[in-house]
Amino acid sequence: MTSLTLLSQQDEGSPSISFNPSCTISDINPLIYGGFTEHMGRCIYGGLYEPDNPNNLSDESGFRKDVISCFKELRVPVVRYPGGNFCATYRWQDGIGPKDKRPVRPELAWEGIEPNTFGTDEFLAWCKVVGTKPYLCLNMGTGTLEDALAWVEYCNGIKDTHFANLRRQNGHKEPYGVKYWALGNEMWGPWQVEQHSKEDYAKKAIQWAKALKLLDPSITLILCGKDGYSDWDRYTLQKCIRWVDMHSIHFYSMGKGHYTNISSVYAAERAIQVCSSLIDLARCEFDLSPFPDVDRICTKPNSAKRPTICFDEWNVWDPERAPGNRGAEELYTLSDALAVAIWLNVFVRNSNELGMATIAQSVNVIAPLMTTPRGIWKQTTYFPLLLFSKFMHGKSVAVHVRTGTYDGKTFPEWIQSTCAVPKLDVSAAVDGGWMNLAVVNSDETRSLSTKLSGIDKDIQVQVFTVGGEKFDAIDTNSEDNEKISLRESTWTSTGDPYTFERLSFTLLRWKCLDSIGV
Instruction: Give, in order, the Cα–Cα distances in Å from 51 to each of 45, 46, 374.
Output: 9, 9, 14
Q: Which helix (H) or strand (E) is 274 found in, with range?
A: helix 265-283
DSSP bridge pairs for 136: 81, 181
φ, ψ for residue 511, nearest 5 deg: -75, 140
Q: Which of 38, 50, 186, 269 is catalytic?
A: 186
Q: What number of H helices and E strands is found in the chain?
A: 10, 24
Cβ neighbours of residue 248 closer than 8 Å, sequence gap 6 or more: 182, 222, 223, 224, 225, 309, 310, 311, 312, 313
- Calpha distance 101→474 (Å, rounded): 48
Nearest to 80 by CA among 242, 222, 192: 222
Amino acid residing at 421: V
Cα distance between residue 230 and residue 412, in whole Å: 15
Backbone angles phi, psi at 391, to 5 degrees: -120, -25
The full DSSP string for 128-166 is HHHT-EEEEE---SS--HHHHHHHHHHHH--SS-HHHHH
Catalytic residue among 50, 313, 353, 501: 313
Instruction: Assess whether 73 carries a catalytic annotation.
Output: no
Tell me whether strands 16-27 and 395-403 are parallel, antiparallel or unpaired: antiparallel
Active site residue 313: yes
CB distance 243 to 214 below 8 Å: no
Query: What value does the CA radius of gyration of the chain take, rounded to a whole number of Å?
Result: 23
* Residues 87, 184 contacting (CB under 8 angstroms): yes
Nearest to 67 by CA among 373, 353, 441: 373
Catalytic residue ranges: 186, 313
